[in-house]
Structure 1
């Protein structure tokens, strides 16, 4: 994959000014803005629809395992299928060089939760090489728009009921389809591709004008040549989400350590794995969000650094959106007086969802000591979790505060136990306790306070009561 992108930079395409026209999808030029800009000096003309052979593979609750191939060219195939005009339609659109696995996983999860028309788009003939894929996606986008137009004209189906979910180049492909479809309901961009799309005009890339609502998840939003990224650095939706800062995802290997192995073949594999991991996390996050309507709460903030410092923890009065499938529930989703960036943290491995708490402990005790303090909390969901609040020098009278991204959704906290562990292996007479614990948790910054007047030895639980 690394070698292919380098080849893209060395490839000389056709000279600007040429045009091709195809029945059903219209005409395409290789002039501005498609070619000749700083970001797209080498792009060219797309192939014919016949050569690309775009396929629409339908899954419903009537046929969740075996697809039905439907075609707008022969609309009777739609009529004879399990396509339901009373259902929402979600079309999963891959990028280049894909095996279709994430699309199948997406349909499987969607159909567990919703009675929808789930369509997996297959344009693999036209997307095997990146340089060809960036040209061909215009024809495929026109094919998707034509498919929706047939639904409207032959089946009186509203375009507002169509949701395009595109990964990588598929996100820009969805934008192309949306720009041709007035009233399209929604586009979700899953780490829209960066190379050949950074800082391009909105006609070329995904843009908020392409649908009634456009939400974007960035997981590898860095420039390819400078930080080895596959995603675009541009915000391109009504809501742009940046999990873990949006650049490199926890659990995806770094590229520096393998260099010291001096094994070129192994390093090529590491590079490929690095791109695929970071870039693919976007659709992993989205798929998981389908099953977790209250997970992936994201906070508006100026920067990821400021978010991690806790400066943006409380949601503003208008609330916070959730990243992923239920982003469209945010009531201000299309209001953008000033573009906001939405940040959140995730786990290293699946399940990725995390729930943020701000925990403060006012410490009581008989001596300053070295140790760690933990809170064991229970909440309205019936689940419990144990979180470390501080470690090192523990000074009675001090208040210790920590932001916790919990891997368990305990809900609003209803019970708290304080536990501390001493770092010394020698027995001591030190005792500590939590005089007051304050928790701010959840999307609505629910605040709860618990108190106690007891102090305990190490490893003994202190039970606090609401105060």
Structure 2
């Protein structure tokens, strides 16, 4: 009989919402929308702050290699640290199965120190992240509340404005940032790096990172992670299977190397339909995205770009249009651009029938900003022995850099046999 009562109590417990409260950060319930929904079928409460063991590790320009631990419960730890109220504060929050002392978090701080004076706080919640996914996804509620508590302590004790705070969250950490933002009126910025979908897609705004969580919200998705619809105010889609935090980290040192193009889809972007930048310009994905804040509509927007497939990831996009001259032939045409800061590789523009007078266009992503374009080199070949040795040339090549309105024209009256370089100079 005892066993039957136990079963009945368990069943009763399954339908009764539970709530758990923690000092300083408030109460957490397992009622909808936090649990018992299609996205979150299991009723799981977040662990206590003690069990999660969240730590705030402060690095600054003065202590770039070793952290100082800040305790929101003990403001004297802030007083005794290198935290400076006249600087911005950027929190970096790791995700599932990760930890706050991972190299990538410190690397990101160090890149910041190269370009700015900043309080860089790595949020370590490894005990709460290295568990089952469902538990970790609920633990972010407490982690986000603790981040909000820390911001509140800074605001109350030091008159430090939340508008000076930027939260950078990777994976589950992006949703922890969203939780902190929803508890912090006037928070400056949140950047989500590949925010995870499971347990968050299709949930109401209070559960996930959303555009209302900060004055400026930007999200980087790599193509390994599908877009969560309506997640970020500005969604940047970088197409290569690599970790978004690496892109963000490198963007700090490359203020113009991650220009991103407003576009309906990646397919449209790949089809060269989203070039050059519109009149208001193109935002930079990553660290400098907020420089663009006033120039986009308040509506959520998507921007696309290609990145390198290994470090260095920065790319500069160029559009090229070629008007052919000479004899009709079959083959392929390549061009390389030469500027005062360097030159590009040879890029394919056309393969097929090369008809004099026809114009062909393509776009490509160069590994460097070549600066002022001074000349263009044209090359064609067809890898088939042709006894007539036709000569093909480019009467005109126009070049445009993605972020610039200026179109540069290069001309030549010469034609060349295959595999012979033809140099075009400004018309």
Counterpart CA distance in 1 for 2:331 and 2:223 is 38
Within a 5 Å distance, the mapping from 1:433-448 to structure 2 comes to 433-448=393-408
Within a 5 Å distance, the mapping from 1:406-445 to structure 2 comes to 406-425=366-385, 428-445=388-405
The 1:359/1:192 distance shift into structure 2, 3 A limit, reads same
Is structure 2 residue 308 aligned with structure 1 residue 308? Answer: no
Indicate if the aligned counterparts of 2:344 and 2:366 stay in contact, CA closer than 8 A: no
* Cα drift, residue 314 of structure 1: 2.3
Is structure 2 residue 177 aligned with structure 1 residue 196? Answer: no
Counterpart CA distance in 2 for 1:211 and 1:14 is 35
SS of 1:325's equivalent in the other structure is coil
After superposition, what is the alpha-carbon deviation per residue over 1:88-111, rounded to whole angstroms, capped at 9, x for unaligned?
111100011014232122112111
Q: What is the TM-score normalised by the length of structure 1?
A: 0.84
Counterpart CA distance in 2 for 1:43 and 1:102 is 33
Is structure 2 residue 28 aligned with structure 1 residue 33? Answer: no
Residue in 2 that maps onto 1:393: 353
Residue in 1 that maps onto 2:10: none
Unaligned runs of 5+ in 1: 1-12, 222-228, 253-276
Counterpart CA distance in 1 for 2:103 and 2:359 is 49
The total of aligned residue pairs comes to 412
SS of 1:322's equivalent in the other structure is coil
Within a 5 Å distance, the mapping from 1:49-448 to structure 2 comes to 49-99=49-99, 100-129=102-131, 130-220=133-223, 233-244=228-239, 249=240, 252=241, 277=242, 281-332=243-294, 335-337=297-299, 339-365=300-326, 367-425=327-385, 428-448=388-408
After superposition, what is the alpha-carbon deviation per residue over 1:307-354, rounded to whole angstroms, capped at 9, x for unaligned?
1111111222222111111100114366324x3211111222221222
SS of 2:198's equivalent in the other structure is coil
SS of 1:27's equivalent in the other structure is strand
Counterpart CA distance in 2 for 1:18 and 1:432 is 77
Dislocated runs of 4+, deviation >3 Å:
13-16, 331-334, 380-385, 425-428
The 1:193/1:43 distance shift into structure 2, 3 A limit, reads farther
* Cα drift, residue 437 of structure 1: 0.3
Unaligned runs of 5+ in 2: 1-12
Q: What is the TM-score normalised by the length of structure 2?
A: 0.91
SS of 1:146's equivalent in the other structure is helix
SS of 1:458's equivalent in the other structure is coil
Q: Select the structure of larger CA radius of gyration.
A: 2
After superposition, what is the alpha-carbon deviation per residue over 1:270-317, rounded to whole angstroms, capped at 9, x for unaligned?
xxxxxxx5xxx2111111111110111111111111111111112222
Residue in 2 that maps onto 1:259: none
Counterpart CA distance in 2 for 1:14 and 1:109 is 48
* Cα drift, residue 233 of structure 1: 2.1
Counterpart CA distance in 1 for 2:277 and 2:377 is 27
SS of 2:273's equivalent in the other structure is coil
* Cα drift, residue 445 of structure 1: 3.5
* Cα drift, residue 426 of structure 1: 6.1
Q: Name the stretch that deviates more: 179-188 or 411-420.
A: 411-420
SS of 1:36's equivalent in the other structure is coil
* Cα drift, residue 459 of structure 1: 2.8
SS of 1:330's equivalent in the other structure is helix
Counterpart CA distance in 2 for 1:95 and 1:162 is 19
After superposition, what is the alpha-carbon deviation per residue over 1:19-69, rounded to whole angstroms, capped at 9, x for unaligned?
111111111111121112221121421111111111001111111111111
